[in-house]
């Protein structure tokens, strides 16, 4: 859960209408990424719906913004498995409404408006290249 001492891409939340911000802040601070994905796929938990008077389409918009913000919280390094990194990219593509998009396409979608997230994606690419470099050095590729 992102705390106040972590840097995240705030642009996704900033783009939300003011009337969505309390619900977005609640989701960001009190729910894990897996729970957010569950709500995005299966519907907002009743206890969350009871706190905020929003329509399903509004919840989708809020959840996508919060999911993308949560993803940007992760510090992607070579200590993280390629499987987990790929899962973060899969989640990102899903929340951007481009399921299955490769990293290069995801980057193009965010580079203009979400600079921190674009830099985060560059870091992901650098880590992926390190994995390839190590695999080649070990003769695995």
Taking the complete model, does pTM exceed 0.85, yes or no? yes
Cβ atoms of 36 and 27 closer than 8 Å: yes
Average pLDDT in the 120-127 region? 96
DSSP label at residue 30: H
* Token representation of residue 54: 């929003």
Angle of CA points 79, 83, 84, to nearest 5°: 65
Residue 1 pLDDT level (bands cut at 50, 70, 90): very low
Identify the pLDDT of residue 136: 79
Cβ atoms of 89 and 81 closer than 8 Å: no
Give per-residue pLDDT as tens, 4-60: 446 889 999 999 999 999 999 999 999 999 999 999 999 999 999 999 999 999 999
């Amino acid at each position: 859960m992102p705390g106040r001492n972590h840097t995240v891409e705030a642009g996704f939340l900033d783009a939300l209408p003011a009337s969505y911000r309390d619900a977005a802040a609640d989701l960001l601070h009190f729910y894990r990424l897996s729970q957010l994905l569950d709500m995005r796929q299966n519907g907002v938990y009743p206890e969350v719906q009871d706190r905020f008077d929003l329509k399903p389409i509004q919840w989708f918009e809020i959840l996508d913004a919060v999911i993308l913000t949560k993803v940007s919280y992760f510090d992607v390094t070579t200590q993280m498995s390629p499987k987990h990194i790929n899962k973060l990219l899969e989640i990102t593509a899903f929340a951007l409404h481009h399921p299955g998009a490769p990293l290069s396409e995801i980057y193009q979608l965010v580079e203009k408006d979400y600079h921190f997230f674009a830099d985060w994606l560059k870091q992901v690419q650098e880590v992926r290249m390190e994995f390839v470099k190590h695999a080649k050095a070990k003769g695995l590729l």
